[in-house]
Chain A
Amino acid sequence: MSELTKLNLQGVIQGLRRGEFSCRELIQAYFERIQSLDFTINAYLYTDEEGALRKAEMVDRTLAEWRRSPQGELPPLLGVPLAVKDVLCVKGMPCTCGSKILEGFVPPYNATSVQKLLEAGAIVLGKTNTDEFAMGSSTENSAYGVTRNPWNLNRVPGGSSGGSAAAVAARLAPVALGTDTGGSVRQPASFCGVSGIKPTYGRVSRYGLVAYGSSLDVVGVLGRNMEDLALVFELMAGVDPRDATTVDLPVPHIHLDRSTDLSAIRVGVPKEYFIPGMQPQVEAAIRQAILHLQELGATVLEVSLPHTEYALPVYYLIAPAEASANLARYDGIRYGPRLGGEAMWEIFFRTRGEKFGPEVKRRIMLGTYALSAGYYDAYYGKAQKVRTLIKQDFERAFQIVDVIAAPIAPTTAFAIGEHTDDPLAMYLEDVFTLPANLAGVPGVAFPVGFDQQGLPIGMQLMGNYFQEELLFRIAHAYQLTTDWHLRTPQ
C-alpha cells in the first residue's frame, strides 16, 4: 500500500502544505489503489480520475504559490480526497442512488454539503455504492452489485452507506460522505471498523441529498478517526437557505486536544439496548468500551429509553410513507430511463415496475398503504404519536446524562446473502440505530473491538440536539487511549 493512502486527514493536509508530496501524487496513489482493489470490493459506482487529477494539478499550483509567499489562509481541506455516497448530488457526475431508475441521470447541481466541501478545497474521487435509495442495511439492495466488506470479502459492509464505509476501511478514500436515515452511517461504520458521525437532524443541509425519508435523512461523514470527522463535519454543517429544515445555530469550531479526562461526563447506558439474541462478543466489547470510558473518569449510569421497542415499527411506517411520496417523481418523464409507449399509465407502470428493485417497491407499497384513507390513523398517524414518545425518552434521559452509549447492531457484519430472503431479519439489524433518527439526535460510531472472526465491532454515542462537539470529544478521548481505529484490514 502506498504510504500516502495510509495518511489521515491531518497527515494529508500537513504533507501537502509542507510539500512532502504533491496533490497529484496523492490522488494518483488513491486511484492506483482503487484500480487494484475495487473490482473486488465494489465500493465505488463511479470514479472521476481525470477530473480529480485536473483539480489536483490546480491544487499543486496553489500550494506552490503559497509556499513561495505564504499569505492568507488556504482552504482548510485543500487537496483532500473525498468519496461521496451516490445519493448526494455532485454536479456533472452521475447520481444513480444505486437504482436503475436513475441510470444516466447527471445532476446539474451540487448538494449543499458537497458544495461546501468543494469550496473548502476537497477533491471528489467518485461516488460510492449504496442500497437502492439508501433502503437497506447491507448494500445488497444496490442495483449495481453488493459492496464487499474489506475485513472479509464474504461479508456485507453494512448499509446503506456501505460503499463509503468500505472505501474508508480499504483506504480507497481518507474520508467519505454518507447519509443516515435509520443507521446508514453508523451501522456500516461499525461493520467496517471505521468512525462515523450522524449529525443532528437540521444541522447539515439536505439540499441535493436524494430524499428517502425526509424527516429522518441526515448527511454524515465516515472516516478514520474523530479528528477527521470533526474537521469535515464543521465545514459542511450550518443553516442553508435552500433547506428550510436546517437550524440557524452557530457551528462551533471543534478543537480536539490531547485531554482524555472524562470526569465531567455522565454516560448513560440504556438497558433496552442489550437484548437477548445479541452476539455475545458484541455485548462484551460494548461493555468493555463503556468500562474504558469509566476508567477515563466518566460516570456511568443506567438509563431507560422505554419506547425503544417501538422504534422499529414506527420507523417502518414513517420512512416508507415519506419514501412513497419522495419516489413518486421517478416516473420516466423528465430524466432516467423511460419504458412503455405513448400511453401515460403504461410509461408509469413499466418504468417504475421494471426499474425499481424489490426492496424499494416493498417500501413504496408499505408507505402507500400506511397513508391510505381508512388506514392513516391506525398506521401513519399512530406512528407519529409514538415517534413523539421516543423523542421524549431521549429528552428525559439527557436530563440525567450527557451522552448515551449503546451498541450499533446486534451482530458484526453478516454474510452476503444471509438476510436477503428475510426482510424482517434485515430490518432488525437497524433496531439500535433507528431511535436516534426518529428523535433527530446526533450520534457517533467508532470501533471498540473485534469478534472471534476478526470482524470489527462498533459502538455509538448518542448526544443531545446539536451536541456533536461533545460526542467528538468523548470518542476522541477513547481513540487517544485505544488503537481499535488504527487497525486495517489485510
Chain B
Amino acid sequence: MSPEYEAVIGLETHIQLNTQTKIFCPCKADSWNDPPNTNICPVCTGMPGVLPVLNKAAVEKAMLLAAAMNAEIQPISYFDRKNYFYPDLPKGYQISQYNMPIARGGYLVFPMPDGSERKVTIQKLHLEEDAGKTKHDFGRRLIDFNRCGVPLVEMVTGPDLHSADEAAQYIIRLRQLLRWIGISEADMEKGHLRCDANVSIRPKGAEVLNPKTEIKNLNSIVAIREAIQTEIQRQIREVEAGNPIEAWTLEWDEDRSILRKMRSKETEADYRYFREPDLLSLQIDEAWKAAVLSTLPELPLQRRARFVKEYGLPIYDADILTSERSLSEYYEATLQAYQGDPKRVSNWIINDVLRIINELGVSAAELKITPPYLAQIIRMVDESVINISTGKALLDKVQNCGKEPAAIVSEEGLAKMNDADMLETLIQQLLVENPVQVESYRKGKSGLLGWFVGQVMKQTQGKADAQLTRSILEKYLNQK
C-alpha cells in the first residue's frame, strides 16, 4: 500500500451454529450432502398457521460465543421480524434480533504473525435464522429450503482492522475459536462461516471514516486477503485520480480473482423491524448463564500464552499445539503422563503425531495412540529400551492395532539390542566378511563407519543400539 494511506476495515460474519436441529423447528440443521428440500417442515417453510419455537441449544451456543468474545450476555433480549421479500425467505420476514440482542459489546485481541497484537471490537452479536438457497439451473430458478431456519449468529466488528492481513488473521483466529468452543464447524467452504467486508481508506493518522464499499461472498481466508487487498488498491487509485469512492456493494469472484460491482447502495433498505409476537422475550437468568458458561474451556489464545509461560515452549510450538482444542488437550495429557521435558513432548507431537493426524484426517482425541501410550513410547526411547527409529515406527503400529506400546515391543522383540557381547560377535563376523571395506577404512576412509553401522542395523532389523554399535565398531576398526 501506498505509505500515506490507511485502510479501515470492518467484518460482518455469519456463523452457522452446529446444533442438531434448526433454531425454530425440529428439522435437522445441517444439510451438507443432503438432497434439496429434505430437511424441511411446515414451520421452516412458512406454511400458514405455524409458529416458531426457540431452540435452547442455539441460545446456549450463542451465549458461549458471546462470553468468548468478551461480550455482555443480556438478561433479557428479544427477537424481531426483519421484513423483505425474496423467494427463498418463506415467511417474507427473517426472525432476527434488532435493538435488544442477546449480547452487547465484546472484543477479541489476537496476535499477528510478527508477534504484535491487534484488538477488534464487536459492534453487533445476535441470533437469527438462515434463509434458503436460490439456484439458477436449466433456465429456471430453483429453491432449496433446507437451510431455512438454520441457526446463525451474526457478528459484526467495529472498523478496527487496517490491512487485508489483519482481516485474514482475525478470521483465522475466529475460526479457531468457534471450533475450539464447539459451537460451529466453521468450515468456510461449506458456508458455516461467511464473511462480508466493509472497506474504506483514509490518510494515515486521520480519524475520519470515509465512504465504504461492501465486499460480499468472501468464502475463504485467501479470498478475504486478496479481495480486500484488491479493493484497497482500487480505492487508492480512485482517490489519487481525484474520484470519489461510492458506496458500492461488490462481489469477489474467487475463480478469476476480481471484484465485481453488484449494486450501488443509494438507499438503505427499510426492513420495518418489529418485535416477533410469536416468541416470548428471551430471559437468561444468572443460574442458566453460570451453568452454560461453566462449560466454556480455556480459550485458545490464553492456552497458547500459558503454554509459553508454564512449559517454556517457543511461540511456534505453542501456536501449533493450540491450533485445535483436542490437540492442546492431547499435549497436556501426554505431558502429564510423561512427567518430563515439555519441549520433548512437543517435538514428538509436532514432528510425528501431527503427521499421523493429518494423514488419517482425525482429531487428536480420536487417536489410538493415547496420551499415556505416547508418553510410554517417549519414555522407552529416553531409557534406551528402544531406539528412536523403533519409537517412531511404533507410533504407526500402535495407531494400527491400538495395543499398548510396551506390549508390542515385547511381542515383536523390538527392544534395542544393547547386549554388548552379542553385538561384538556380530561385528567381528561383519569385519571378517568385509575385508575390503575394513582396509579402506583403516587407510583413512573414515566415512565408511556409517556404512558399517548400516550393515549392523540391517542385520538386527534396526534394533541395535546405535551408540553402542558405533563404539564397538570403532574399537575393532581402530585396532591395527
Contact = CB atoms under 8 A, between A and B. Distances in A.
Interface in A371-401: 371-373, 376, 380
Contacts of B93: 325, 328
Interface stretch (B83-91, B115-123, B343-351): B83-91
Contacts of A368: 272
A97 B48 CA distance: 10
Interface stretch (A241-249, A408-416, A472-480): A241-249
Contacts of A209: 49
- The number of chain B residues touching the other chain, given as a range, is 20 to 34
A244 B278 contact: yes
A20 to B, nearest CB: 38
B140 to A, nearest CB: 8
Interface string A202-236: 00001111110011000000000000000000000
B87 A333 contact: yes
Contacts of A245: 51, 277-280
B420 interface: no
Interface in B30-80: 42, 45-54
Interface in B262-305: 268, 270, 272-274, 277-280
Interface stretch (A100-108, A139-147, A290-298): A100-108
Given A325-B83, A329-B46, A348-B85, A371 B274 contact: yes
A310 interface: no
A243 B51 contact: yes
Contacts of A95: 48-49
Given A107-B47, A214-B277, A325-B83, A244 B53 contact: yes
A334 B92 contact: no
Nearest to A380: B274
Contact of A207 (B51, B141, B279): B51
A122 interface: no
Contact of A335 (B47, B53, B270): B47
B48 A328 contact: no
Interface string A183-214: 00000000000000000000000111111001
Interface residues of A, number: 44
B83 A344 contact: no
A109 B42 contact: yes
A87 B50 CA distance: 12
A243 B54 CA distance: 10
Nearest to B43: A242
Contacts of B91: 325, 328-329
A372 B272 contact: yes
A438 interface: no
Interface in B435-475: none
A331 B91 CA distance: 9
A244 B280 contact: yes
Contacts of A109: 42, 47, 50
Contacts of B268: 373
Contacts of A380: 274
B274 A373 contact: no
B52 A334 contact: no
A447 B71 CA distance: 59
Interface residues of A: mostly helix, strand, loop or mixed? loop
Contacts of A371: 83, 272-274
Nearest to A88: B49
A265 B54 CA distance: 41
A345 B269 CA distance: 16
A242 B51 contact: yes
Contacts of B124: none
A248 B403 CA distance: 55
Nearest to B87: A333
A244 B52 contact: yes
Interface in A331-362: 331, 333-335, 342, 344, 348
Contacts of B52: 244
B308 interface: no
A89 interface: yes
Interface string A319-332: 00110110111010
Interface residues of B: mostly helix, strand, loop or mixed? loop
Given A244-B278, A245-B278, A342-B141, A206 B45 contact: no
A59 to B, nearest CB: 27
Nearest to B88: A333
Interface string B141-177: 1010000000000000000000000000000000000
Contacts of A327: 92
A111 interface: yes
Interface in A30-71: none
A105 B272 CA distance: 28
Contact of B274 (A206, A242, A321, A328): A321
A338 to B, nearest CB: 11
A207 B90 contact: no
Interface string B3-21: 0000000000000000000
Contacts of B270: 372-373
Contacts of B90: 329, 333-334
B87 A344 contact: yes
Interface in B183-228: none
A329 B280 contact: no
Nearest to A89: B49
Contacts of A331: 85, 87, 92
A242 B42 contact: no
A317 to B, nearest CB: 11
A55 B327 CA distance: 63
B54 A244 contact: yes
Contacts of A111: 49
B81 interface: yes
Contacts of A372: 270, 272
Interface in A73-103: 87-89, 95, 97, 102
Contact of A215 (B86, B273, B277): B277
Contacts of A102: 48
B53 A325 contact: no
Nearest to A336: B48
Interface in A423-451: none
Contact of B48 (A105, A322, A342): A105
B118 to A, nearest CB: 35
Given A241-B53, A244-B278, A325 B81 contact: yes
A328 B277 contact: no
Contacts of B51: 206-207, 242-245
A333 B143 contact: yes
B49 A211 contact: yes
Q: Chain A CB within 10 Å — which of B53, B83, B85 has the most? A: B85
A94 B35 CA distance: 29
Nearest to A240: B51
Contacts of B85: 328, 331, 348
A88 B268 CA distance: 38
Given A206-B51, A243-B278, A376-B272, 16 more contacts: A89-B48, A89-B49, A211-B49, A214-B278, A244-B280, A325-B91, A325-B93, A328-B92, A329-B91, A333-B87, A333-B90, A342-B141, A344-B86, A368-B272, A371-B274, A380-B274
Which 7 pairs, one residue from A and one from B, show the smallest C-beta to C-beta distance? A328-B92, A371-B272, A214-B277, A215-B277, A210-B48, A210-B49, A208-B49
Interface of A: 87-89, 95, 97, 102, 105, 107-109, 111, 206-211, 214-215, 241-245, 321-322, 324-325, 327-329, 331, 333-335, 342, 344, 348, 368, 371-373, 376, 380
15 contacts: A89-B48, A107-B49, A109-B50, A207-B50, A210-B49, A215-B277, A242-B50, A243-B53, A244-B278, A245-B278, A324-B83, A325-B83, A335-B48, A371-B273, A373-B272
